[in-house]
Every structure is written in structure tokens, then in C-alpha cells.
A and B are shown apart, each in its own frame.
Chain A
Amino acid sequence: MEQVNPFKASPMREARAGLRDIAPAAIAAIPIGLLFGAVAVTKGLSPAEVALMSFLVFAGGAQFAAIESWVSPAPILALAFGTFLINVRHVLMGASLAPKIRLSRAEKFIAFFFMTDESWALSERRAIERPVTGIYWAAMAAILFTNWVVSTTLGAVLGSFLGDPARFGADFAFTALFIGLVAGFGRSRITLVTVGVSAAVAALVHHFIGAPWHVASGALAGIAAAYVTAGPEARA
């Protein structure tokens, strides 16, 4: 029964679905990218270095964390470790998504370079109803990647002309976007407990210990809470 696929995935429809689903995230990322570039040049990076970082690293959270504590000369090991702490979530995300995406193993090694919280979360949501195709993934990746490289570079070039992004609420777009994505996972008891525990632990750790430890500790606490909550009712 599982062999039958009721969804005839036409390439055009898959590409359009990818573009449609990623549009809100891409639009929300523009002010964040401009902000990143503008902050980065105030820390001494050149627009070329900003462009190169966005092109090669392509991870907003890790890039923001790096820029926030940027000194010259750059502390390579500290930056690499900070990047690892923020991005280690990708391991779990990739393991979860890998069997749900219709690509060969070699293709996945290329495709996963473009994995972001947004494209991954949207793919996980899509996987609940239908298979995730390579074209769907590629459409999202192309938009987000181009968008991120262009907006961060533009932010670096425009620099101080932008003014304070908090004035027009752009700094909150990332938070609002993530709340919207979390809502897509529903309101089951396990999900609510997970969200509550993860939020509380992350906020406390951020307050008393500091970034970037709140991401790993909050996420692990939420996952542990789900394990405990599922308890006896979860049958294999």
C-alpha cells in the first residue's frame, strides 16, 4: 500500500509550490539580510567578505552570532566552535528529512548544502501530506540562497544609510516567522509540552549563561519533554 503514490508530481507544479511556500520566508529574510550586511561592515568586514561569507556559510543564525562578537584579527577556532554550536541542529534536521526527500544519495550531499531552518521546516510540513521532490527543494534553495547573498551584500554596500532596523520592526520578522512555522506543527499535547519546555529552558539559559548555549539546551530539553510526555501511551 505504501508503494502507491497518489500524487503525480509534475515538475512545474512542484517548482511553483516551492516558490509559493518559500516566498514569505524569503521576503522576511530581506530586511534581516540587509541588517546583517550593515552590521558586518561596522565590524570591519568589506562588502566582498560579507558576500563570500553568505555564499559559503549560508547560515543566518551562525553568521549573526559570528558578527556580533567579531574582532580583528578574526579568532578562527572560536568562530568555528560558535558556528558548530548554532548549526549542530542541522544534524538532527538532516537525519529527519533525509528519508523524506526524493533524491539520490549523491544529490542529497549537494542539496543539503542549502538546508536552512525555513526550507527544512517547510519540507517537513509538506512531507506530512506528500513526498518532497528535488524540484520543490531546488526552487526553495535557489530563491533563499540568491536572496541571502544579494540582500546581505546590498546591506554591506548601503551600510549606515539604512538606519536602525528596530525602528520599523524588521528585527522582529525572524521571530514572527519562526512562531508561524512552529504553529504548523499543530497543537497536540506532546507538541505543546515540547514548545513550552524548550522556550522556558532556552530563555533561562540565554539569560543566565548566554548565547549560543540556549539553542542546544532548549532544543534538547524540549525533545526530552516529548520523550517523557509520550510515555506509556506511545506504542511501537
Chain B
Amino acid sequence: MNLDTTTLLAILAMAAVTYVTRIAGLLVADRLALTGRAKAAFDAIPPAVLVAVIAPTALTTGWAEAIAAAITAVVAFRLPLLATVAVGVVAVVLLRGVL
């Protein structure tokens, strides 16, 4: 059980920054009454963020990851979430073995 002081401070700083980002939305949400294009842009936040997080892994790591991502995307519209994850993981293992 050893805690380095600088590491502890770094962890506390990361925790504080993260908590502020999590509650900041509560402070601005009341002032957001969106319609039309602005609403379309706001509604696009979820898929836009999720895709941006994974795009490098899915698209630029290699052919195995890119093809596995495409297969996952196709089955994602037909299977439940856990089955989708399973298909993706199995696909990437098989493709890495082949490619």
C-alpha cells in the first residue's frame, strides 16, 4: 500500500477535472431550448462523440480491425449488444490470424 505524493496529486487533479466536466452540463442545460438545425446538431452529439472515440482503432489500425469493425456495424442492427460485442471480438481474432 504505497502512495506517491505527486501521483496522488495527479489523480486528484484528474478526478476534479473529470467531475467538473460531468456536472457542467447541469449548469447550462436549463438555458438550452433548441429547435430546428440547432436541435439536429444537438441530437447528433451522442453518435458523433462515440464514433470519434473509436474511429482511430476501427479505421487506421489495420485491415483486421477495419473489416471486423464493418462486420460489427452490420450485425449491430440485427443482434443485441452483447452478441454484437462477441461477434466483433471473434471477428478481429480470426482476421488477425488470417491477415
- Listed in ascending order, the chain A residues whose CB lies under 8 Å from chain B are 23-25, 27-28, 45-46, 48-49, 52-53, 56-59, 61-63, 66, 72-77, 79-80, 83-84, 87-99, 105, 108-109, 112-113, 115, 117, 120-121, 124, 166, 168-170, 172-183, 185, 187, 190-191, 194-195, 198-203, 206-207, 211, 214-227, 229-231, 234-236
Complex interface: chain B residues within 8 A of A105 (CB): 26
Tell me, in angstroms, the Cα distance from A117 to B12 when the chains sit together. 21
Give the contacting residue for B3; candidates A49, A178, A214; CB below 8 A.
A49
A193: shortest Cβ distance to chain B, in Å?
Answer: 9
**A61-B40 contact in complex given A74-B6, A199-B58, C-beta closer than 8 Å:** no
A222 closest partner in B (C-beta):
B48
**A234-B37 contact in complex given A94-B25, A183-B76, A194-B47, C-beta closer than 8 Å:** yes
Q: Is the CB of A175 within 8 A of B18?
A: no
Residue from A73, A93, A99, A182 whose CB has the most chain B CB atoms within 10 Å: A182
Q: Is the CB of A95 within 8 A of B54?
A: no
**A90-B47 contact in complex given A28-B85, A236-B36, C-beta closer than 8 Å:** no
Q: Is the CB of A182 within 8 A of B50?
A: yes
Tell me, in angstroms, the Cα distance from A96 to B10 when the chains sit together. 29
19 contacts between A and B (CB under 8 A): A24-B80, A52-B8, A56-B11, A61-B53, A63-B14, A80-B16, A93-B49, A105-B26, A172-B92, A179-B88, A180-B72, A180-B76, A190-B43, A195-B47, A203-B55, A206-B55, A215-B52, A223-B48, A234-B36
Q: Is the CB of A93 within 8 A of B17?
A: no
Q: How many B residues have CB within 8 A of the partner chain?
A: 72
Q: Is the CB of B18 within 8 A of A58?
A: yes
Complex interface: chain B residues within 8 A of A170 (CB): 89
Complex interface: chain A residues within 8 A of B80 (CB): 24
Complex interface: chain A residues within 8 A of B52 (CB): 198-199, 201-202, 214-219, 222
Give the A-B pair count, Cβ closer than 8 A: 310
Name the interface residues of B9-45: CB closer than 8 Å to any CB of A: 9-19, 21-26, 28-29, 32, 35-45
**A214-B55 contact in complex given A117-B50, A169-B93, A227-B40, C-beta closer than 8 Å:** yes
Give the contacting residue for B4; candidates A49, A190, A195; CB below 8 A.
A49
Closest 4 CB pairs of A and B: A94-B25, A176-B88, A218-B52, A222-B48
Name the interface residues of B41-99: CB closer than 8 Å to any CB of A: 41-60, 65, 68-69, 72-73, 76-77, 80-82, 84-85, 87-90, 92-93, 96
Q: Is the CB of B84 within 8 A of A96?
A: no
Q: Is the CB of B37 within 8 A of A227?
A: yes
Give the contacting residue for A62; candidates B9, B18, B29; CB below 8 A.
B18
**A199-B81 contact in complex given A176-B88, A185-B47, A230-B40, C-beta closer than 8 Å:** no
B71: shortest Cβ distance to chain A, in Å?
Answer: 9
Complex interface: chain A residues within 8 A of B1 (CB): 46, 48
Complex interface: chain B residues within 8 A of A113 (CB): 19, 22-23
Q: Is the CB of B59 within 8 A of A203?
A: yes
